[in-house]
Structure 1
Amino acid sequence: MGYEKVLRGKIVQDRVFDGEIGINNGKIEKVVEGKNILKSDSIEDYESALIFPGFVDVHVHCFSNPNEGFTTTSRSAAVGGVTTFLDMPYDLPNPVNNVAFFNDKVKRLEEESVVDICLWGTISKTGGLDQIIPLAEAGAVAFKMSTFETDSYRFPRIPDDEILKAMELIQETGLIVAFHAENDEIIVSLIDEYKKENKVYPRAHNETRPPVSETTAVLKLMEFAKWTGVKLHIVHVSHPRTVELIEYFKSTGVQVTCETCYTYLLLDVDDLDKHGPKAKINPPLRHREDVDGLWKHIMEDHIDLISSDHAPWEEEHKVKGNDNIFLAASGMPGLEIIAPLLFSEGVTSGKITPEKFARLMATAPAEKFQIQNKGSIKEGYDADFAIIDPTQSWEIDEKRFNSYSKISPFNGKIVHGKNIASFVRGEKVYDGENVLVDPGFGKFVPGFAYKEENQVRG
């Protein structure tokens, strides 16, 4: 039997083996061990390069900075081997907290993206509970909320009574509810104190968001999840103590998962001193021993997945914090570099195996968020792949980012391992140098509770 396309190389899933993948109609139709087995007029032999399932990034912000958008973000994803990502709902000017905004975003996605995208939903600070079921049926992949107030309209702190009611409704849908978990009262009070004392140096960002501001917020949410039965996910965990608490609640039967971000595994608070606003993220960078503790949890399978928290700000939003760290925007671009950096630091260095890397970056995100046909190299799944050549080394150049944001504390870093090709549904979207498809190739991937009759496009 012939195939439209065949890929050869070292296939990475539960193990690493020399093999071939037969592709028809954008799907994986056959996976075999060995070479010269599958027939096709279009064979791509990647030899010793590693063929990973296309990476899935669950934590991306396309429109927190509206200058970014789907096209630049998705091009960044393609370059980095991220073939599916989940876009957060905290858009400017309007957060995605109702079905009308959601449907408009789906339409825009399918006009502008070059990779596949799932969409998060959220709720307004109060009075938004009636949108939860409709958003789930419209195709939201999950719901995101916060215990910290970034903006009262766009990114609000949800009151506890609303959180409990929301959790009960989300539990009915079977979807995940995720939280930016920081203790608003502790942080706001400390920032006020520091500003009054003119303690506005870069490390003040770390000092005003101590680990207890994360752990106390997470504890509350896990107890809420205990009594509502909802599937809870904690985003951007920055401290090993948080993971320890999550492990305890898991042992009592609470359905809770967590992610950390590449930044918390590769940088520490000294980088905040060194790079200033470039390295400002929420929660903040922690101490070196905390970074080591997170890696230990990674190796012990206590952290479910790794995300980028891609939050692209241009220089003008960062440099305003040069003399006062509290004035700088929080976040940095990450889609283009998360996988190569973590491959270099994790796999090339010997900390983790290629198989564990595949699970953290592709399989687990797709499984935890119930994204059908993504995240694995299995027959019947979408033919999404990221192909990394472990022999290639290269230097990160922030000015070459596809993202609108061209500032990164990783600028100039030498990376060992390069993504040389990305495939989405069997189509090569990146060849190691250029993005090959036009905006509009990417598709909306609806969530688990999607009901087609409730999705109105255009």
Structure 2
Amino acid sequence: MHDLLLKGAVVTTRTVSPDAWIVIDDGRISQIGHGAGPAAREVQDYGDALILPGAIDPQVHSRSQKGQEDFIWSTRAAAAGGVTTIADMPYDDGFLVSTAENLRQKAREAGDQARIDFALWGTIAPDDGPSHIPAMAEAGACGFKFSTFGTDPVRFPRIPPDLLASCFEAVTKTGLIAGVHNEDDEMVRSRIAAVTRTGVTDWRAHGMSRPPLAETLAMAQIYETAAATGCSAHVVHCSVARGYALCEAYRQQGFDTTVEACIHYLILDEEHDVARLGGRAKINPPIRPRAEVEGLWAHLAAGNVTVVSTDHVSWSLSRKSDPEMLKNASGAPGLEALYPLLLTELARRGLSLSHAARLLAENPARLFRISAQKGGLAPGRDADITIARREKWIYDATQSRHSIAGWSAYDGRALDWRIAATWLRGKLVFDGQDVLAEPGTGRFVCPPSSGTPS
């Protein structure tokens, strides 16, 4: 007699199998099959709904604005969106996660708040150099984040080329990934000044100030640094098709290079959405014209996109409503909408829904070296499972009880899939209406080579 049997259309990285089932014992997947299924103490028959792997969002900013979100709310939105693990970025407001002690402190605090599982990125303070990287890896960091652009000299600093190379050398020894924000600092600052001189202050200013070349120049630096140091290099967001071609070229040469498509780059475009939303659609790098969006989808279909993320940050509307575009904070919330958006767009484009299992679960788990525990649907892994049913509905974050932001760049968008349930380690944490998991349910997930158990 098994603990739990889930029935429905099982989505793996290769197939979508109707009339299938998954057996769960002691919080882990024990069997997958077709037909009636074995006996279990609890049976949930979801009919023709999709049984998907719980999403792993590789890029979340839970603490960018003090007093706004924190893990209490980010993980609530995640559970409601079918996300079962988030990898949280190290650029917390007033608390740079650049030492082992800071990482351990954040893990303790997140552990008290999180409703789903979480991993933590580390970074460096430029004056410290790479000295703290080994200890942060030992403390359980899932990877190390750097930036070629200086958003803030303390909270989000630029790492210059020679220091970046030293950091890559240190990360190589840990076996983890180096993730990099990819914008050329000198070009962006020069273009911001040029845009300011023109007097353009509306929605157009952001794209003008951060051209595609600023991304690809930075990506060339990142991947060449990886090639020289042997580091696994991950570009944490790319909005232009040329960047995915660059990544694939380095992979073909034998280097471990990966690249991430945020969901907003796949869904929104500059001429329709940024023009309409203004500051709510200000994101770095910028949302690009529709022609560039289509180029990203061509790379996704070809297998050149490694993972899809949200780059989620729940800025209050006061930080996103300035009529002068460049004065708004950069970033937007997306955890609650991630799975429905990607499933809807995949289906409308005639692409297999297996892409979602690969891009939202299997590949992120591999990226963070946690595939033995997390990722796609396979025996032995945690029973992190998302149920999505086909339903036409209109997304409206203003009516959501699960997001603290109260707004979304996707408000008013028609979707074809809705999250019906989210299971974390075999426990129901979202029932389609309510988030059932209390703060403290989530666990700190670490690569197995670290000193902290996952």
TM (normalized to structure 1)?
A: 0.96
Contact 1:118 1:447 in 2 (8 A): no
Partner of 1:165: 166
Cα deviation for residue 199 of structure 1 reads: 1.5
CA apart distance, 1:189 = 1.1
For 1:12, give the aligned amino acid: V
Cα distance, 1:449 vs. partner? 2.9
Aligned to 2:363: 364
* Cα distance change on mapping 1:5 and 1:368 into 2, 3 Å: same
**Is the contact made by 1:374 and 1:381 (CA closer than 8 Å) also made in structure 2?**
yes
Matched, 1:311 2:310: no
* Maintained 8 Å contact 1:397/1:412: yes
Distance 1:420 1:167 in 2: 42
Equivalent residue for 1:88? 89
What letter is aligned with 1:274? R
CA deviation profile, 1:346-373 (whole Å, cap 9, x unmatched): 12x1432111221111111111221131
Tell me how far apart the structure 2 counterparts of residues 226 and 351 of structure 1 sit (CA, whole Å): 36
Choose the corresponding residue for 1:277, options 252, 276, 279: 279
Query: Could you tell me how far apart the structure 2 residues matched to 1:380 and 1:448 are?
Result: 15
Specify the alignment match of 2:43 in structure 1: 43
**Counterpart in the other structure of 1:229:** 230
> Is 1:354 aligned to 2:353, yes or no?
yes
Write the deviation string for residues 215-261 of structure 1: whole angstroms up to 9, x where unpaired.
00000111111110000000111000111111111122221000111
The secondary structure found in structure 2 opposite 1:346 is: helix
CA distance in 1 between counterparts of 2:116 and 2:432 reads: 16
Give me the identity figure in percent. 38
Residues matched between the structures, number: 448
Q: Runs of at least 4 residues of structure 1 off by over 4 A?
A: none
- Report the alpha carbon displacement of residue 286 of structure 1 after superposing the two structures with TM: 0.7
Report the RMSD for the aligned CA atoms in angstroms. 1.3
CA distance in 1, matches of 2:248, 2:266: 19
Compare 171-180 and 19-28 and name the one that shifted more: 19-28
How far off is 1:153 after superposition? 0.6
Match of 1:79 in 2: 80
Equivalent residues of 1:97, 1:128 under 8 A apart = no
Distance 1:273 1:420 in 2: 33
What is the alpha-carbon distance in structure 2 between the residues aligned to residue 173 and residue 41 of structure 1?
43
Residue by residue, what CA displacement relative to the aligned partner does 1:34-59 show, whole Å, maximum 9, x if unpaired?
12x31112110001001001111101
Matched, 1:254 2:255: yes
Aligned partners of 1:175 and 1:449 also within 8 Å: no
Q: How far apart, in 2, do the equivalents of 1:448 and 1:148 lie? A: 31
Q: Which amino acid aligns with 1:353?
A: S
Question: What residue number does 2:216 align with?
Answer: 215
Aligned AA (1:359): R
Q: Distance in 1 between matches of 2:448 and 2:212?
A: 34
Counting only pairs closer than 5 Å after superposition, residues 352-431 of structure 1 correspond to structure 2 as 352-371=351-370, 372-390=372-390, 392-401=391-400, 402-431=402-431
State the distance in 1 between where 2:120 and 2:408 align: 26
Find the aligned partners of 2:293 and 2:143 in 1 and give their Cα distance: 28
The letter for the 1-side match of 2:189 is V
Cα separation, 2, equivalents of 1:22 and 1:342: 26
Report the Cα distance in structure 1 between the residues aligned to 2:113 and 2:41, rounded to whole angstroms.
31
Tell me if structure 1 keeps the 8 A contact 2:446–2:452: no
Q: CA deviation at 1:433?
A: 0.4
Residue 73 of structure 1: how far off its partner (Å): 0.2
Alignment of 1:30-179 (within 5 A): 30-35=31-36, 37-66=37-66, 67-179=68-180
Partner of 2:27: 26
SS in 2 for 1:164: helix
Query: What is the CA distance between 1:197 and its match in structure 2?
Result: 3.0
SS of the residue corresponding to residue 222 of structure 1 reads helix
Distance in structure 2 (CA, Å) of the matches to 1:47 and 1:268 = 36
Please report how far the alpha carbon of residue 19 of structure 1 lies from its aligned counterpart in structure 2 after TM superposition.
Answer: 1.7
Distance 1:181 1:448, change over 3 A: farther
Structure 2: distance between partners of 1:290 and 1:275: 19
Determine if contact 1:257/1:304 at 8 Å carries over to the other structure.
yes
CA contact (8 A) 2:311 2:331 kept: yes
User: Using the alignment, how far apart are the partners of 1:63 and 1:342 within structure 2?
Assistant: 25
Structure 2 Cα separation of the partners of residues 112 and 224 of structure 1: 37
1:3 aligned to 2:2?
yes
**Distance (whole Å) between structure 1 residues aligned to residue 63 and residue 449 of structure 2:** 24
Secondary structure, in 3 states, of the residue corresponding to 1:120? Answer: strand
| Contact kept in structure 2, 1:341 and 1:415, CA below 8 Å | yes
SS state at 2:91 partner: coil
Distance in 1 separating the partners of 2:244 and 2:94: 34
Between the aligned partners of 1:60 and 1:128, the Cα distance in structure 2 is 24
Q: Letter of the aligned partner of 1:441 in structure 2?
A: T
Tell me, yes or no, if the aligned pair for 1:142 and 1:447 is still in contact at 8 Å: no
Q: Which 5+ residue runs of structure 1 have no aligned equivalent? A: none
Paired with 1:120 and 1:452, the residues of 2 have a C-alpha distance of 14
